[in-house]
Amino acid sequence: MARILIPTPLRQFTEKNSTVEAPGATVGEVLAALVTRFPDLKKNLYSDEGKLRSFVNVYLNDEDIRYIKKEASSVVDADVLSIVPSIAGGAHVG
């Protein structure tokens, strides 16, 4: 099973787990297994149309899946997926 690193803001949906293991042969299958296990997480990762939200970045072993085969990227048991929500905002200092 692949290991998924859960960012702090989303841990409330994964029983406070910082890492979760999930089965799957592709990134999409692993993420589907993750949201099946933790259904409340789905609305934070996917739009109503079932697409990965644009502000959710997923890395496969430190490589952004958008630059490989996206959710069709192959996964093996030793792989690590990182979910990284985009951060926006801040104060202008000047």
| pLDDT tens per residue across span 36-76 | 999 999 999 998 998 988 888 999 998 989 889 888 999 99
Question: Is there a domain that residue 94 lies in?
Answer: no
Query: Is 93 domain-assigned?
Result: no
Residue 68: which domain range?
2-85
Could you tell me which of 69, 85, 74 has the C-alpha nearest to residue 5? 85
Number of structural domains found in the chain: 1
- pLDDT score of 89 more than 60: no
Residue at 92 is within a domain: no
Strands 19-22 and 56-60, by their bridges, are: unpaired
Is there a domain that residue 37 lies in?
yes
In a domain, 91, yes or no: no
- Closest to 23 in 3D by CA, of 52, 3, 45, 50: 3
Q: Is the pLDDT of residue 94 over 60?
A: no
Report the CATH number at residue 15. Answer: 3.10.20.30
Phi, psi of 3 (to 5 degrees): -100, 135
**pLDDT for residue 91:** 55
